[in-house]
Amino acid sequence: MIVDLNGRATPLPEGSTLADAVAAAGAGGDDRGVAVAVDGEVVPRPQWDGRALAEGEDVEVVRAVQGG
Amino acid sequence: MADGFELGGRTWASRLIAGTGGFRSLSDMERSLAASGTEIVTVALRRVDPLAQGSVLDVIGRLGLFALPNTAGCYTAQDAVKTARLAREAFETDWVKLEVIGDDRTLLPEAVELVGAAETLVGEGFTVLPYTNDDPILAARLEDAGCAAVMPLGSPIGSGAGIRNPYNVRLIVERAGVPVILDAGIGTASDAALAMELGCDGVLLASSVSRAKDPVAMATAMRKAVEAGYESRRAGRIPRRLHAQASTPDEGMASLD
């Protein structure tokens, strides 16, 4: 299955969840200050494990950075 | 500081809000934020970078500061609202520094989109602190929309051009029923002092410290400037006069001819 992960077409195994996508984006180890949206809608952290991904979904994984 | 500063239903000791962007290192940032005395720092949200070293959150945690997420880089109300919702999830706060800009050359606020985003976010229960133009009418609109403060610019973000229209800032202060925080354009300590002397409740600054030759020294200067400007405003300045007025009495002059 291919999902659009942070703007890049990313292959993930069938049956992958949002938690897998967070790990694939590089935020698996330290997910403090991380938030996730699928197709523009925020998915709360407690739902990451149970949220199955579908082909072509747009996943954004963001975290805190320095800013003005 | 003499007394507390009410913002968003909480009381703060420092009237200086600091940005975390533009520092040359996390170590510079940490020492500067500590020197500034700030309690609230702005942070941004960006796509996860797996190669990034260290986290701004570590520093904020060590210093015990409150992280205020911004919507920097958003050009539409829709983008800003979605970013604020992500920030609420990431930071577990419903506070947001709302920025909706019109172009990347001036980074000036997009007034129509800004008001729309503010109305939506207030409706969703956010504590909205909008970065706005130095326009008293727009500031009043944002207050009417339910924003917890208004944050007029002194001049464009990162320009260091100071407060270009102090008269408008005075007009905003005069009619505001929520805190006024001068946001953007501060270049040096006298700009921050002027903001407070004009009656602002606080100052938000970033580049003037983070990009200074010596950020820690400038952070110290800004802390003192905000305090000095606030105390000076409270003390009540003397009126400006065209002619001199002696402070030494004429009576009792010795006759020495």
Q: What is the ipTM of this complex?
A: 0.92
- Distance separating alpha carbons of residues B201 and B16, to the nearest angstrom: 9
User: Mean pLDDT, chain B, as a whole number?
Assistant: 95
Region B124-150: mean pLDDT is 97
- The pLDDT assigned to B1 comes to 44
Q: Which residue spans within B59-201 are E strands per DSSP? A: 66-69, 95-98, 127-132, 151-152, 181-183
Residue with more model confidence, B42 or B247: B42
CB within 8 Å: A64 and B82: no
* List of chain A residues whose C-beta atoms are within 8 Å of the C-beta of residue B67: 64
Region B230-252: mean pLDDT is 92
Region B91-104: mean pLDDT is 95
- The pLDDT assigned to B2 comes to 53
| Percentage of residues in chain B having pLDDT higher than 90 | 89
State yes or no: pLDDT of A25 exceeds 70: yes
Region B190-213: mean pLDDT is 97
Residues A36-62 pLDDT 10s: 999 999 999 999 999 999 999 999 999
Q: Which single residue is written with the structure tokens 């500067």?
A: B32
- Distance separating alpha carbons of residues A36 and B69, to the nearest angstrom: 15
pLDDT interval class at B196 (50, 70, 90) = very high
| Percentage of residues in chain B having pLDDT higher than 70 | 99
Beta bridge partners of B45: A64
Those of residues 5-64 in A touching chain B at CB distance below 8 A are 6-7, 25-27, 30, 32-37, 40, 42, 44-45, 60-64
- The pLDDT assigned to B141 comes to 98
- Distance separating alpha carbons of residues B176 and B116, to the nearest angstrom: 20
Query: What are the respective helix, strand and coil percentages of chain B, to the nearest 5?
Result: 40, 20, 45
* List of chain B residues whose C-beta atoms are within 8 Å of the C-beta of residue A37: 82, 85-86
Residues B21-40 pLDDT 10s: 999 999 999 999 999 999 99
State yes or no: pLDDT of B129 exceeds 90: yes
Q: Which of B143, B49, B42 is nearest to A27 (CA)?
A: B49
Q: Specify the pTM.
A: 0.91
